[in-house]
Amino acid sequence: MENSEHKIVSFKTYGLILCVLIVFTLSSVYVTHLDFGNLGIVVALSIAALKSVLVFGIFMHLLYDKKMYALMVVGVLLVMTIVLIITFLDYGY
Amino acid sequence: MTEHSVHDHYDHEGSKLGMWLFIFTELLFFGGLFIVYAVMRYKNGTAFALAGKELDVFIGTFNTIILLISSATIAMSISSIQMKKKNLTVILLGITLVLAVVFLVNKYFEWGAKIEHGLFPGSETLHQFGHGETLFFGLYYFMTGLHALHIIIGIILITIIMVKVHKGKIHEDRFVQLENTGLYWHLVDIIWIFLFPLFYLIA
């Protein structure tokens, strides 16, 4: 009874997202083989970020759950980014 | 409020919130390692690119796809328990388990081949390569090893959940344990999504 408000995500949605994730994976392999040097890994990491957004949003239901969860995830990722930037202030000059 | 619910401590939202808090500690834990990786790569760019060539992109890609499929199947198992399809839930969890084991077996052969070639922390070959390569493989073994440990824990969790679904202890009105295990498994997937380009695709 208390779970009646939980959204049931269709198999079709999951299947579609899975296909997109696999296409993203293969394209990141393809891009890094094109010999663009450092640009290749930047693109591959951007694709990875995009993939993680799909996993967070659809597979982990952040899109369907209370906004609070998504906000907290963004907060944690923000903390990580800030720590990364502060760390590189020491190395990158 | 019935007499029953007074003694029933089931709290779906609370349990899920707790799981998310745990996931945040995991994200920060791996996040720290990713920052170590970023700094080391910044300082040893060429060596990291050369060392990355030693890794098999095919196995890496294959394992990525396996983990993605397993993430989709465990997500589907949550939908299927909500649709009151118990047997389908067990089957989907079973597929997830098999994929997790396949991932580990691949990892075993991959590590085995590297070790055979003398590429392991403290090896003579790595010592000759130099500082950057040693750092790369040190991080490679530590981060993929820690990830593999999470896969093993996931296998244990999914097995327990599968038995509970089979016994009817987890059902359409009470499935937060399945949902939390799913969250954990997706986390393991997300970590791999970043490990894959950082180690396999930087050559």
Tell me, what's the ipTM? 0.92
Distances from the Cα of B99 to the Cαs of B64, B73, B135, B152, in angstroms? 11, 10, 30, 12
Which residue numbers in chain B have pLDDT < 50?
1
Q: Mind listing the domains of chain B with CATH numbers? A: 16-200 (1.20.120.80)
Contacts of A84 in chain B (CB under 8 A): 35, 38
Q: What is the pLDDT of residue A4?
A: 44
Distances from the Cα of B200 to the Cαs of B59, B60, B109, B168, in angstroms? 9, 7, 16, 42
Q: Which of A25, A55, A73 sits opposite B65 (nearest CB)?
A: A25
Q: What is the pLDDT of residue A36?
A: 78
Burial class for A37, CB neighbours closer than 10 Å (0-12, 13-18, 19+): exposed
Distances from the Cα of A36 to the Cαs of A41, A44, A50, B41, in angstroms? 9, 11, 20, 18
- The whole-angstrom separation of Cα B194 and Cα B76 is 23
Q: What is the pLDDT of residue A1?
A: 38
The answer to whether residues A29 and B201 touch, using CB atoms and an 8 Å cutoff, is yes
**B197/A9 touch (CB, cutoff 8 Å), yes or no:** no
Size of interface A-B (CB pairs under 8 A): 115
Q: What is the pLDDT of residue B187?
A: 98
Contacts of B190 in chain A (CB under 8 A): 52, 55-56
- A-interface mutation test, from B21, B193, B200, B202, most A Cβ less than 10 A away: B193
- The whole-angstrom separation of Cα A28 and Cα A40 is 8
- Spell out the per-residue pLDDT of chain A, length 93, in tens: 344 467 899 999 999 999 999 999 999 999 988 877 778 889 999 999 999 999 999 999 999 999 999 999 999 999 999 999 999 998 865
**B12/A8 touch (CB, cutoff 8 Å), yes or no:** no
- A-interface mutation test, from B28, B66, B68, most A Cβ less than 10 A away: B68
Contacts of A21 in chain B (CB under 8 A): 68
Q: What is the pLDDT of residue B7?
A: 63
CA A23 vs. chain centroid, Å, equals 14
Q: What is the pLDDT of residue A5?
A: 62
**B79/A15 touch (CB, cutoff 8 Å), yes or no:** no
Q: What is the pLDDT of residue B163?
A: 98
Q: What is the pLDDT of residue B6?
A: 58
Q: What is the pLDDT of residue B5?
A: 54
**B190/A56 touch (CB, cutoff 8 Å), yes or no:** yes
The answer to whether residues B202 and A41 touch, using CB atoms and an 8 Å cutoff, is yes
